Amino acid sequence: MPRAIWNGVIVAESDQGTIVEGNYYFPPDSINRQYFKENTTHTTCPWKGVASYYDIEVNGQINRGAAWYYPAPKEAAQHIKGYIAFWKGVTVEP
């Protein structure tokens, strides 16, 4: 089952996600919310829309902007609405 790991802790785990542009997007209910803090960063993708970000905090260490999601994606990306993807050293294992 795919899982996202950072700083030795599983921060998300689900086999109900989807792959978009090489990134595995985890369903919103599959993340361990205690590790996620809202981040004020936003970026825009031409076809997905505006992305919001989370910081991940594990064992006192913070990985700023390490997860992103689309709270209100454009029509072409509705299938990933609210789903979370990772980068910045977060390992996603199959």
> With contact defined as beta carbons under 8 Å apart, do 66 and 87 qualify?
yes
Give the pLDDT confidence score for residue 67 in this predicted structure. 98
**CATH code for position 69:** 2.170.150.40
Give the pLDDT confidence score for residue 48 in this predicted structure. 98
Q: How far is CA 9 from the centre of its chain?
A: 15
> What is the domain extent for residue 79?
3-93
Which is it for the CA torsion 85, 87, 91, 93, positive or negative? positive
Q: What is the pLDDT of residues 66-77, one digit of tens each?
A: 999 999 999 999
Separation in Å, CA 18 to CA 63, 73, 89: 23, 15, 20
Give the pLDDT confidence score for residue 92 in this predicted structure. 98
Q: What is the pLDDT of residues 11-63, one digit of tens each?
A: 999 999 999 999 999 999 999 999 999 999 999 999 999 999 999 999 999 99
Contact residues for 27 (Cβ-Cβ < 8 A; gap 6+): 14, 16, 17, 82, 83
Number of structural domains the chain divides into: 1
Amino acid at 66: A
Give the pLDDT confidence score for residue 9 in this predicted structure. 98
